[in-house]
Amino acid sequence: MNKKISPNWILLSLAISAFAIGSTEFISVGIMPLLTRTFGISLSQGGLTVSIYALGGGC
């Protein structure tokens, strides 16, 4: 049987996925002071890891 998926469900799933993917960078920035202290790295190195993650997630 071929079931047709409602376009509303597709749009909702895409919106939730985009929110989840986009919010990970903001969460990383929010806990940046904890990360820099824990791993003994500078703030610029920590920011670079978030940038690299964002670039990789965007591809």
Residue 15 in this model has a pLDDT that exceeds 70: yes
Cβ contact 50:29 at 8 Å? yes
Give the pLDDT of residue 28.
Answer: 80
Q: Give the start-end residues of each E strand in 1-59.
A: none
Query: Global pTM?
Result: 0.53
What proportions of the chain, in percent to the nearest 5, are helix, strand and coil? 80, 0, 20
Residue 57 in this model has a pLDDT that exceeds 70: no
Q: Where are the domains of the chain?
A: 22-59
Residue 8 in this model has a pLDDT that exceeds 70: yes
**pLDDT, tens digit, 9 for 90 and up, residues 19-51:** 988 787 788 888 899 989 999 999 999 888 888
